[in-house]
Structure 1
Amino acid sequence: MAILLHDFAGKHSLTFDVGRLAADAAVADAGHEPNGYFWEGLVQFAWPDIAERLDFDSEAGMFCVVGSPSDLAQLRTALEPVIASPDAVRDIIERAETSGFEFDD
């Protein structure tokens, strides 16, 4: 499952489809819905410095953010290993829940 970067009329976005990611089972096992809104929360918790500069536009079946090419490239580098690893996403969920963060999924 690939993370895609788009440039449409000078507007830059990053998207990926959810529901068939390697990390989805770990998300569901933790009691969350593996949808675009869950991934928004994960990004906001794990990389708040990048997240504050992005505009989120996710849907149930897709994660989508709009931002600068450099912020989107940074996010892609950070996210790629997480969406491919149940252990990595489990670790972030545990840290988030321990800190009191609530996912809006």
Structure 2
Amino acid sequence: MTPLKLIETDAGRYSLLLNAGDTSVDGLIEELGHEPNGYFWEGIAELLVEHEATELGGRFDYDPEGGMFCAYGTDRAALEELGALMALAEATGFEFDD
């Protein structure tokens, strides 16, 4: 899932994290007129859930900041799946249309 990481914050509570501005696609994102911040990555996650993995809808929440993307909840499997989708999308050069 690199550059994403999944951590257990409390017993049975998990957060999927990404340090915004530290990815290999930041330059491309900026060239396209966007800022690669946590809110941008939240939009990417929402787009993936809405169009690629509708079964993940409602299984976690988001709490991004300028420098960090965060999805959190108690459903570890859902967060793992989201992380895998986001990492795969970055690795394969998926054209994000946010």
What TM-score, normalized by structure 1, do the two folds share?
0.76
Name the residue aligned to 1:39. 41
Residue number among 85, 92, 95 corresponding to 2:96 in the alignment? 92
- What value does the CA root-mean-square deviation take over the aligned residues? 1.7
Q: Please say if residues 19 and 67 of structure 2, whose CA atoms lie closer than 8 Å, have aligned partners that are also in contact.
A: yes
Name the residue aligned to 2:21. 19
Which structure has more helix as a fraction of its residues?
Answer: 1
Could you tell me how far 1:22 is from its partner in structure 2?
Answer: 0.7
- The structure-2 alpha-carbon separation of the partners of 1:60 and 1:45, relative to structure 1 and needing over 3 Å to count, comes to same
- Pairs aligned (count): 91
> Which amino acid in structure 1 is aligned with residue 6 of structure 2?
L
Residue number among 63, 66, 79 corresponding to 2:72 in the alignment? 66
User: Structure 2 stretches of 5 or more lacking a match?
Assistant: none
What TM-score, normalized by structure 2, do the two folds share?
0.81
> Which amino acid in structure 1 is aligned with residue 81 of structure 2?
Q
Percent identity (aligned) = 32
Name the residue aligned to 1:101. none
- The structure-2 alpha-carbon separation of the partners of 1:27 and 1:4, relative to structure 1 and needing over 3 Å to count, comes to same
Q: Please say if residues 64 and 70 of structure 2, whose CA atoms lie closer than 8 Å, have aligned partners that are also in contact.
A: yes
Could you tell me how far 1:51 is from its partner in structure 2?
Answer: 4.5
- The structure-2 alpha-carbon separation of the partners of 1:51 and 1:36, relative to structure 1 and needing over 3 Å to count, comes to farther
